[in-house]
């Protein structure tokens, strides 16, 4: 691995962690008998102002409602992005609890990607358009693993992605019990992915909760192992003092912290702002060749970010 330390610019401040200039709206779209909408209900957050905006296909974590990322989605959309987040039906939720696999998640993600390519414009206001030349693929937890699997070609889609972002991705219960399709092989730079990649990990994700629950992002299947298999260009950020679900809306982050996984002591709002700001800075750099914010984070992470980031790496070659 080669860590680049050269700076393209050293700004005194960055705007990616501040609220964007756009107002936003959100809507849920369910499948009907006369609709081409994919079966998982879709949650869409978009800017209100007239314009053409890049798109993020975001895949939720295991059994996590897609609407529970609303605060983070609204922050990202305020910077001029359309987020499309597929959800899950009750049957899919029950199947996910019984079948230890992500194959169905990858297939559903591909179905949603094809729907974005063909039908997203039809559910947006007439003066708000998706920029289908600039589409990012992202996901959290099990959805992060599904995003990597889709990027690796485990399902086919007509939509072409410009970047990949993994938000504390999880590949399974442990390295001997990984979710299908198994994508981690523990070989450095093994992923055959030509996209620029950003990884956001959590420092507490591989800790259990109250001594009763196993880690939500267990060692051997969590972010450092994904990073090890990524090829440059890759950016890597670890929210050192936060847990696996601390970027969710407050109600679920608090609930998860009591019953599911270890939570940090910092502000959930700051964690969401940090994750959203990294999304914005990374996509500006790799979609639009505007690396100033990303460079600022890499050069001085704890001067510009609202939370402690350690480590922070940018592998360019």
Catalytic entry in 60, 78, 168, 249: 168
DSSP 98-154: HS-BSHHHHHHHHHHHHHHHHHGGGGS-TTEEEEEEEEEEEEETHHHHHHHHHHTTS
Instruction: List C-alpha distances in Å: 156 to 150, 161, 164.
Output: 8, 12, 16
Catalytic entry in 140, 244, 246, 270: 244
Q: If residue 95 lies in a helix (H) or strand (E), which one and from where to where? A: helix 90-98
Catalytic entry in 68, 141, 154, 293: 141
Distance between CA atoms of residues 74 and 257, nearest Å: 23
Q: Are strands 163-167 and 51-59 parallel, antiparallel or unpaired?
A: unpaired
Indicate if the alpha-carbon torsion angle 21, 12, 295, 308 is positive or negative. Answer: negative
DSSP 201-235: EESSTTS-BTTTBPPSS-TTSSHHHHHHHPPSSEE
Residue-level length of the chain: 317
Point out which residues pair with 136 in neighbouring strands: 56, 163
Clarify whether 244 is annotated catalytic.
Answer: yes
Report, as residue numbers or ranges, the catalytic residues. 141, 168, 244
């Amino acid at each position: 691995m080669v860590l680049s330390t050269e700076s393209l610019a050293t700004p005194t401040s960055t705007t990616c962690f501040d609220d964007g200039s756009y107002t936003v709206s959100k809507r849920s779209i369910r499948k009907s008998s006369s609709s081409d909408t994919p079966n998982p209900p879709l949650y869409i957050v978009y800017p209100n102002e007239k314009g053409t905006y890049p798109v993020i296909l975001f895949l939720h974590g295991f059994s996590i409602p897609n609407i529970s990322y609303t605060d983070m989605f609204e922050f990202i959309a305020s910077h001029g992005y359309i987020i499309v987040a597929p959800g899950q039906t009750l049957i899919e939720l029950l199947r996910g609890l019984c079948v230890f696999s992500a194959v169905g998640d990858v297939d559903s993600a591909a179905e949603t990607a094809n729907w974005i390519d063909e039908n997203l414009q039809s559910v947006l206001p007439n003066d708000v358009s998706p920029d289908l030349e600039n589409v990012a693929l992202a996901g959290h937890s099990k959805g992060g693993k599904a995003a990597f699997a889709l990027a690796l070609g485990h399902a086919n889609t007509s939509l072409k992605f410009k970047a990949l972002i993994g938000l504390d991705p999880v590949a399974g219960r442990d390295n001997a019990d990984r979710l299908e399709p198994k994508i981690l092989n523990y070989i450095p730079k093994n992923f055959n992915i030509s996209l620029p990649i950003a990884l956001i990990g959590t420092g507490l994700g591989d800790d259990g909760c109250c001594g009763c629950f196993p880690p939500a992002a267990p060692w051997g299947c969590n972010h450092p192992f994904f990073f090890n298999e990524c090829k440059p260009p890759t950016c890597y950020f670890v929210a050192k003092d936060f847990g696996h679900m601390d970027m969710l809306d407050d109600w679920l982050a608090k609930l998860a912290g009591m019953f599911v996984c270890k939570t940090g002591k910092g502000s959930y709002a700051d964690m969401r702002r940090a994750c959203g700001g990294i999304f914005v800075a990374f996509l500006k750099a790799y979609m639009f060749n505007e690396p100033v914010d990303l460079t600022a984070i890499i050069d001085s992470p704890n001067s510009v970010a609202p939370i402690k980031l350690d480590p922070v790496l940018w592998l360019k070659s």
